[in-house]
Structures are given as C-alpha cells and as structure tokens.
Structure 1
Amino acid sequence: MPKPKNTPEPSGWEKELELLESLRWWQKEFLDRVCQASQSQDERVLSVLRLEATYHLAEFYFQLRARDIAAPEDVGRLAELHNQYVVDIMKDPAKMERIGLNRERALEAMFTADTMPRLLQNWRERSGAIDQSNLARLLMVVMSTETCRKVVVACAEAGFLERARTPYGTMLVTSNGKLEELFGRLLQDLHCRIGGRA
C-alpha cells in the first residue's frame, strides 16, 4: 500500500513494514514465476495455478526435497506423523472448526491398513510417486480432495507434474522437480531480499 503524501512513517515499525512488503513481493512473484514457467498458457490452467493451493502443493514438494524424504521408510514415517497430526487435530474441536475440517473428512485423511501399503509400494516402484488420493490425504489441512485434483491436473498440464493411470485405476503423481526448484529459488531470493535490508 503506498504511503499517503505528508504522512510520517509509524515510529518503530519500519523493519516490519519492509518485511510485509517483501512478503507481498514473494506472493506476487510466486504466482508470476509459476505462470511464466508453465508450458500451457491456457487461461483455464493459469487460473488454477494462481490459486493458493498451488503454493501449498509447491511447498509440499519443496519440503520433500529439502528434508531429503527419498526412501520408502522416509515416506512411511511422514505418513505416520501425518496420522498423528490428524489425531491431535481431532482432539481440538476449536482448531478443526478454524481450519474448516470436520471429523469425517479428518478420518478419511488418515492412512489405514489398506492405504499405507499402497503408498509405500508406489514409492518403492518409483521414487516420489504418490497416488493422487494419498496426496490429497497429505494435503487435507490446506485443501479439499477436489481442489487437490484440480491443482494436480493444472500442474501436469503446466509441465510440473506427471500423472499416470495404473492398471488398478488409480492415478500416480510424480514431480519432475521443476515446481520445487522454482519454489526453492524464490525462497533464496526472498532470503536475499530480506537479508539485504537487515
């Protein structure tokens, strides 16, 4: 927001205002870079790429890379932590209401004796491959299953993800690394921007 003429800066908030400006720059820059890097310039695809959910998907894949979650046991541990997080959320009705989550959806987001083996098997057969429904489970706090599907489809059309239907009728999703690379580079730029003003 531009400062009105003849209005003095609020005393003591200069660094916080600079941080806010950098965060707004980050939000805009992420959207711009994702859309510029998209192989498809179809407005239908770009409109989905501009959703906040695309940011959350990019952050998810960046976290996988940055935390070196590569082996099947790593993703298994991630799923166990996810289940524990869901259990903790269900113990806090106020938090569930705050994030717009009901008990039924929370239970559906947990990895069970049926879904956990499929998660691990897919990852063993192709590192990084996650069934689309399992991806939606992992992202359930930040987006609905349908939003996850829409964002994954748009990111595939944009050239960031690969989708492949299995003989069992499920959809496997694998990142080619472009989305998390873009996210990481932008984080570096944000760090430099903030550090340069310190």
Structure 2
Amino acid sequence: MYLVNDGSRSGIRQEDIELLKAEVAGFTYIDSQINQGKGGALRDAVRQTTGKYIIYTDADYPYLIANAVDMFRLLSTDAADVVVGVRDEQYYDQLPLGRKIFSLSLKVMNYLFFPELKVKDTQSGLKGFNQKGKEIFLKTRIPAFLFDMEFLVLASKRSDIRIQWIYVQAREGIVFSTMRAKTILTELINFTKILFRLDK
C-alpha cells in the first residue's frame, strides 16, 4: 500500500505514519514537498511500486471492496492489462448536480473527440493495470483529474493493450464533494491539452 502526501503541511502527524507502517504490511509513505495534483501524486507512487499489479483509488475509497477484488481477479488471471471502473446510473444519481453534469458532459465529449477510447467513462477513481499498463501510465503528464483520461487515451491507441471494465458501486454512507468552477475550467484546459497531444 502506497500513501502520498501531496504537499500538505497540516494534519500530518509522524506518530500516525509510524502506526500505519507498523500495522499495514508493505505500507510506503511518500511525502511530496510540493502540491502536484492527483495525477502527479499517483505517478510518484506508481513509479515506486514493485508489485506485479497496481490498483489505485481515491483517498476516501467510495466503492465496494468487491469492486477492487473483481479488478484484481481480472489482472491476476491475465484477462486484461488495464481494468477500468465504470459508474452506473445508480452511482451518478448519488453525485452532486455540478459533478454529475461535468462527468456526463465529459463522457459525451469523449464520444465526439476520442472515438478510439475503449471506455468512455474515464473518471471513476478505481483503475488497475499490470506492468504493461504501468509503462503507459508513467507517460501521462496531466497533473489534475484528467490524468485518468489521458492514461486511457494512450492505452487505447496501443493495439497490444487489453482493456476491460467492471461496474463500480458507491458504498453506503459515502458523501461526494462538489466541484468548484475553477476546477472545471482547469479540466477543460487539460482536455484540450490531451486532444492536441494525440499525435505527438
């Protein structure tokens, strides 16, 4: 298990980190001195991984444990190189309105601008891959949320990469955060960067 502190200097206690190291087998803490965004933080962690398979998720893990188990099963039986969590209608119904509109709009944009994408729902926070997928993941550049989409665009362009998906369900009691207008604007800019990077 890898935990990245993406430049935060508040609420971090060394005794908590030591407790995790003592209680969680294989726990690795990565302390980034600057805030890089979720994409940068995950690349830091993935770069250090030594396992055969990698599964990453959000800090609050809003999904059912069974979803991660299903993902691992597909990877460990060599059924896929990349496995993507896809959200169903029930999941979308639990999202705040602004976040729901952004997510559904992004799916439509993916259909229009990235027809080669094998999975159009790129933004669920649960994905897994093997070493071939790791190589592609580390080629991403987007610092914020759309690094997921960039990864899948790059993977979909490779004919030797097998991509599968599973439905993910929100666990009971999860409360989703809202998306700020500034965040949405940043991601629209990142979408444009991915679009123009396609043939580079």
TM-score, structure 1 normalization: 0.30
| Structure number, greater radius of gyration | 1
TM-score, structure 2 normalization: 0.30
